[in-house]
Amino acid sequence: MAFFRSLVKSGALTVLACYGWLRVRLSNKPTLLILTYHRILPADAPERAAEQPGMVTSPQALEDHIRFVRKLGAEPIHLSDWLDRNSQGKTLPRLSVAFTFDDGWQDNYQYAYPTLKAQNAPATIFLVTQMINTGKTFWPEQVLSLLTTQTIPKNDSSFDWLRPHLPLEPAPGANRPLSLLEADEVIARLKSLEDATILEALEQVYASHPEVAPTETSRSILNGSELTEMAQNGLVMYGAHTRHHYRLNRLKDGKILKEEIVDCLQDLNSLGEAAIPVFCYPNGDITGKGENLVSDTYKAACTTKTGWNLTGCNPYDLHRFNLHDGNSHSTRTLLATIGRGLL
Ligand SMILES: [Zn+2]
């Protein structure tokens, strides 16, 4: 039965891959595929042990993607260039590909940049501006690290905020840290809380349990000198991904909403010419008020909606293909992911 299921799955994948290949090859209107990555980490990187699987791509897969899109006849292009040429009605290649990276991970410099440079592939990194040069990381990574290495004590009030989101049956015997997949499900459930609430709760945990506080030995977010180096020769540009990665639909305070959207561009502009006024919604969460601020401040915005973009598209509703090792480790899975996104 398992063999039959895997045969059906493999067949479906092949059909989707053929569909994706045909759609891309036959598109006759200038088309932009925006590929989205988060972390670029080798298979043996220790950071993978406390990271959501859907966040990670290997450097080899990134290189394969760049080579493959060129084989498909696509031209790697700066997202900003495509948007400008599109709005000015200038000629665009039949098929363009923009490589984008969300969040501003340090591994983008360590593992993606050498590949981008060697392949001469332009890219945009969407930065969380108040995280740069801080040594901090995002709350999902902090929670994953906590859950996969510690047993959450039963009678300790500093973990009360977390307890309702833990699995009911962690394991026979229960007293063990969670697996990465179990912890990943806790992250999904915690998204019902506000980001700032979770960050405050984590600070309280670290205050009463300093032994579980993150150490700064392995910095996870890009710093200023890495940003400057990658921007040399115009290879990497930087867009906005809010100041603190707060999900906009959860922000009740209008002042904070404005800071996260509008002031983020001011932060970004300190990077000079490499900064582009393009916004990327954290988690894809959008609100009407947020959308108005974005369209008043930026020339375009990336969503988490899946699909490609044609000339004349709404620049504030850019569609992308979110890639990770699980859905693009081979040419067939990459094409299937594109095919599925175009159904
Ligand atoms: Zn993000």
Taking only the tens place, the pLDDT of each residue in 87-111 is 999 999 999 999 999 999 999 999 9
pLDDT of residue 143: 94
pLDDT above 90: residue 262:
yes
- Assess whether pLDDT exceeds 80 at residue 291: yes
Q: Show the domains of the chain with their CATH numbers.
A: 28-135+221-341 (3.20.20.370), 139-212 (no CATH)
Mean pLDDT across 250-272: 92
Mean pLDDT of the 220-224 span: 94
210/112: higher pLDDT = 112
pLDDT at 330 over 80: yes
Give pLDDT, residue 69: 95
Q: How many Å lie between the centroid of ligand 1 and the Cα of residue 14?
A: 30
99: Cα within 13 Å, side-chain hemisphere: 30
pLDDT at 206: 93
- C-alpha 153 to ligand 1 mean position (Å): 30
Q: Is the pLDDT of residue 218 over 90?
A: no
Taking residues 116-122, what's their average pLDDT? Answer: 96
Tell me how far the alpha carbon of residue 242 lies from the centroid of ligand 1, in angstroms: 9
Per-residue model confidence (pLDDT) at position 25: 86
What's the per-residue H, E or C state across the chain?
CHHHHHHHHHHHHHHHHHHHHHHHHHCCCCEEEEEEECEECCCCCHHHHHCCHHHEECHHHHHHHHHHHHHCCCEECCHHHHHHHHHCCCCCCCEEEEEEEEECEHHHHHHHHHHHHHHCCCEEEEECHHHCCCCCCCHHHHHHHHHHHCCCCCCCHHHCCCHHHCCCCCCCCCCCCCCHHHHHHHHHHHCCCCHHHHHHHHHHHHHHCHHHCCCCCCCCECCHHHHHHHHHHHCEEEEECCCCCCCHHHCCCHHHHHHHHHHHHHHHHCCHHHEEEEEECHHHCCCHHHHHHHHHHCCEEEEEEECCEECCCCCCCEEEEECCHHHHCCHHHHHHHHHHHCC
Provide the greatest CA pair distance for the chain.
Answer: 65
Average pLDDT over residues 31-42: 97
Q: How far is the CA of 17 from the centre of ligand 1 (A)?
A: 27
| 177 CA → ligand 1 middle, Å | 26
Distance 241 CA to ligand 1 centre (A): 7
Indicate if the pLDDT at residue 2 is higher than 80.
Answer: no
- Percent of the chain at pLDDT > 70 equals 97
**What's the pLDDT at 184?**
92
At residue 154, the pLDDT reads: 82
* pLDDT at position 211 over 90: no
Ligand 1 mean position, distance from CA 342 (Å): 23
Nearest to 303 by CA among 271, 39, 313, 312: 313
C-alpha of residue 107 to centroid of ligand 1, in Å: 15
CA of 21 to the centre of ligand 1 (A): 28
Q: What confidence score (pLDDT) does residue 171 get?
A: 54
Arithmetic mean of pLDDT, 278-296: 91
User: In angstroms, what is the span from residue 236 Cα to ligand 1's centroid?
Assistant: 18
For residue 131, the CA-to-ligand 1 centroid distance in Å is 12
Residue 254: pLDDT over 90: no
Burial of 196 (0-12, 13-18, 19+ CB in 10 A): middle
Q: Kindly give the distance from the C-alpha atom of residue 104 to the centroid of ligand 1, in angstroms, as a whole number.
A: 9
Q: What are phi and psi of 319, to 5 degrees?
A: -100, 150
* Predicted local distance difference test score (pLDDT) of residue 16: 93
Q: How far away, in angstroms, is 89 Cα from ligand 1 center? A: 31
How many Å lie between the centroid of ligand 1 and the Cα of residue 28?
32
pLDDT above 70 (res 241): yes
| pLDDT number for residue 217 | 64
CA–CA distance from 267 to each of 76, 207, 249, 299 (Å)? 27, 30, 22, 17
